[in-house]
Structure 1
Amino acid sequence: MRVKFRGLVADTRPLRNEHFRRLWLANIITVVGAQLTVVAVPAQIYAETGSSAYVGLTGLFGLVPLVVFGLWGGALADVVDRRTLLICTTSGLIATSALFWLQAAAGGVDVWLLLGLFSVQQAFFAVNQPTRSAVLPKILPLPLLPAANSLNMTIFQAGAIAGPLVAGTLIPVLGFSWLYLIDTVTLFATLSAVVRLPRLPVEGGGTGTPGLRSVVEGLAYLRGHPVLLMSFVVDLVAMVFGMPRALFPEIAHEAFGGPDRGGLAFALLFAAIPAGAVLGGIFSGWVSRVDRQGRAVIVCILVWGVAIIGFGVAVGLAGRAPGPMLAVSVAMLVLGGAADMASSAFRNSMLMTAATDAVRGRLQGVFIVVVAGGPRIADVAHGASAAVVGTAAAAAGGGVLVVVGTVLAALAAPAFVRYRLSRVVRDTA
């Protein structure tokens, strides 16, 4: 039984690598602070405007820099030493977090200033994340990448639980400025871990200053690899149609009777998806044993879609029984979070193993555009549709579209469903 239990819990072999372990431990410190800002920005906008449509604008203001700097940053990561690039972008994230603190501490917030700062922060994030992901295959063996991605996702989502819970409790007491200050201070842990990395030059990378041509070359590479292309398509389907987070402030206030800023229902809704991801990460020992990763991605996204349908139905029934329906809503989001964690681990591992080092930065740039940009498109779409059909219908309808879109994608790309990790490892050996 002990052997079987070890096979269920997370595979910790990547932590034996000192560089990965140092980055992972730093994330434990910094991710909570980062999630405080993730929660504080929409909460502050809703507190100032009382409108989910304005909250949805965070999707637009976050999407544009994610697309532009995600693609350009990925190209930059295929030319510049990746350690140097991580140091610069982490420093930029620290600076923007400090500006968030200053605007909140000054009072009299202008919502457009807040959205502008959010855009700048997302620009640094868009360069930092593809660079960070492109580093993993340089410091870890390919078979350990699913486990490493699961470990990273677990920590990130654990912070995403603590962040909403702490934010929901502290916002009514301390206000927004303290949350931004915590984020600023904790980011120094990541900066310390990045500085201690070795030099990370790109094998077979380009030279000079990357521009539009290098971005186009990366996209052309992706076009020639339909399995990788489809990994982005199915994630866009899942996130654009099935991520209702822009509705959480209004749902917490209107459906479950919470205050217009913060509160328990607000915290639970924001924490539920990451809670599911953490549970999925804790019991992720199985991901390293999955060979048919394409089929696993399809199954995970279908589970996500069904969970979002259940969430929307529960919100629609909240008027009859707010307490029980809040519990059902949270349970559905937890289920969805566990499925999303596994899907992300598989998709990112497929991307890392099937691409050469010379293009990993650019493909990770596309990955971050899709992973982070999809939910921002969802913020705009859900905020606008909820104003027309209501929050419950907007959420449930999005879940239905996830299921339909995923089935159509699987039928259109059978090569993706048949993808096997063992074939790639054998071919690169």
Structure 2
Amino acid sequence: MLLLVANSFVTAGSGMRGAVNAFQVYQITGDARLLGLTFLIQGLPSLVIGLFGGTLADVMDRRLLLRFAVGAQIVIALGLAWLTGTDRIEVWHIFVATFVGAGLQSLASPAQQALVPATVPGAELMNAMALLSAGGQAAMLLGPILGGALLDFSGAAIAYLVDALLILPALLALALLRIRDEPTRRQVKLNLESIFEGLVFVFRTRVLLAFLLLDTVTMVIGYYPAMMPVIAKDVLAVGATGLGALLAAPAVGALLGFVGVLLLGNIRRKGAVIVAVSVAHGIVLAAFAWTPGSPRPGSSPRPSASSIP
């Protein structure tokens, strides 16, 4: 339960900060290309720093690693609140905060997953994993909505302060977390050989490699959240609150998909289902791109920073 609390609050805070970051970048620059760069910076740590996460989870105290990552997230939120409140915030500050925050998440995620078997009985493991996933998706739904609402009604500085306060219960939950029966750890050394062990295994396993390539292509080519601030402001004119709702929408779909998988039970042709869903995802994105009012290259001038309220 404590791990669920920690994961839910951290995920909500991260989703909230992501919405505020995206809004601020577009507010300061009015340049959609820098929005894309923001989300690229957010994704880079999972490719680079994420390689170290699993190894660190094997050689370090996992609770200590999680506490460090969560505590640092609070510092990041407070730093952004101070920079924004004193009118010193610049785009590069947001880029650095985004990279460091995403890197901390990449380091902490394997440690969190490894702690689940150590905190619940074996018979409850599958239920615990499902509950953790559902809690994370619910938090991803609430975080951007709260961030967008606070942006409209209180401003970015207050939104960052609330973000820091939102993560505090997670730090408390991790401080109280006790291990009941932690599985025996592999004897692993923190070196390049151990770090790339997983990559070698993935490239040698055709099924895993196919899933990795499919997910990579989908995320790189069809990562639509980067354009949501432009759509919210210039197309739909719904403000920061609407932006929060748009960024939260994927979490609604994920929750519905989670329920659908539970109802369908054990699907026999799992690979075919994954391919079909990926194709459907591409079709929906193409349809969304050509809906009336969607921004086209060269269709309208970019707003200047001074024209954004």
2:57 matched residue in structure 1: 77
1:238 matched residue in structure 2: 218
2:254 matched residue in structure 1: 277
In 2 relative to 1, CA 297–142 (structure 1 residues): closer, same or farther, beyond 3 Å?
Answer: farther
The answer on whether the counterparts of 1:151 and 1:281 sit within 8 Å (CA) in structure 2 is no
The answer on whether the counterparts of 2:82 and 2:157 sit within 8 Å (CA) in structure 1 is yes
SS in 2 for 1:107: coil
**Alpha-carbon separation, structure 2, partners of 1:107 and 1:69:** 31
Unaligned runs of 5+ in 2: 301-309
Q: Residue 193 of structure 1: CA displacement?
A: 2.9
The answer on whether the counterparts of 1:78 and 1:202 sit within 8 Å (CA) in structure 2 is no
Q: Residue 29 of structure 1: CA displacement?
A: 4.0
Stretches (4+) displaced over 6 A:
none
SS in 2 for 1:289: coil
1:127-165 per-residue CA deviation (whole Å, 9 max, x = no partner) reads 0112212334554659964x5554333322323332333
Matches within 5 A, 1:175-190: 175-190=155-170
1:23-52 per-residue CA deviation (whole Å, 9 max, x = no partner) reads 224444443333210100010111111111
**Alpha-carbon separation, structure 1, partners of 2:29 and 2:230:** 12
The answer on whether the counterparts of 1:33 and 1:179 sit within 8 Å (CA) in structure 2 is no
In 2 relative to 1, CA 290–79 (structure 1 residues): closer, same or farther, beyond 3 Å?
Answer: farther
1:226 matched residue in structure 2: 206
SS in 1 for 2:58: coil
Matches within 5 A, 1:27-426: 27-137=7-117, 139=120, 141=122, 145=126, 148-195=128-175, 196-198=177-179, 203=184, 205-208=186-189, 210-259=190-239, 262-264=240-242, 266-286=243-263, 288-314=265-291, 317-318=292-293, 388=297
The one-letter code sitting in structure 1 at the alignment partner of 2:293 is: A
Q: Residue 226 of structure 1: CA displacement?
A: 1.9
Q: Residue 294 of structure 1: CA displacement?
A: 3.0
Q: Residue 287 of structure 1: CA displacement?
A: 6.0
**Alpha-carbon separation, structure 1, partners of 2:260 and 2:226:** 29
SS in 2 for 1:77: helix
The answer on whether the counterparts of 2:137 and 2:254 sit within 8 Å (CA) in structure 1 is yes
When normalised by structure 2's length, the TM-score is 0.84
The one-letter code sitting in structure 2 at the alignment partner of 1:300 is: V
Unaligned runs of 5+ in 1: 1-20, 320-385, 392-429
In 2 relative to 1, CA 203–292 (structure 1 residues): closer, same or farther, beyond 3 Å?
Answer: farther
**Alpha-carbon separation, structure 2, partners of 1:157 and 1:53:** 28
The one-letter code sitting in structure 2 at the alignment partner of 1:270 is: L
When normalised by structure 1's length, the TM-score is 0.62
- The alignment yields a C-alpha RMSD, in angstroms, of 2.9
In 2 relative to 1, CA 118–67 (structure 1 residues): closer, same or farther, beyond 3 Å?
Answer: same
The one-letter code sitting in structure 2 at the alignment partner of 1:309 is: A
**Alpha-carbon separation, structure 2, partners of 1:50 and 1:269:** 19
The answer on whether the counterparts of 2:145 and 2:248 sit within 8 Å (CA) in structure 1 is yes
2:305 matched residue in structure 1: none
Q: Residue 174 of structure 1: CA displacement?
A: 0.9
The answer on whether the counterparts of 2:188 and 2:194 sit within 8 Å (CA) in structure 1 is no
The one-letter code sitting in structure 1 at the alignment partner of 2:103 is: A
In 2 relative to 1, CA 202–52 (structure 1 residues): closer, same or farther, beyond 3 Å?
Answer: farther
**Alpha-carbon separation, structure 1, partners of 2:187 and 2:270:** 31
The answer on whether the counterparts of 2:116 and 2:129 sit within 8 Å (CA) in structure 1 is no
In 2 relative to 1, CA 389–132 (structure 1 residues): closer, same or farther, beyond 3 Å?
Answer: farther
The answer on whether the counterparts of 2:10 and 2:170 sit within 8 Å (CA) in structure 1 is yes
1:220-260 per-residue CA deviation (whole Å, 9 max, x = no partner) reads 1222222222221211122112221111111122222345x
In 2 relative to 1, CA 250–237 (structure 1 residues): closer, same or farther, beyond 3 Å?
Answer: same
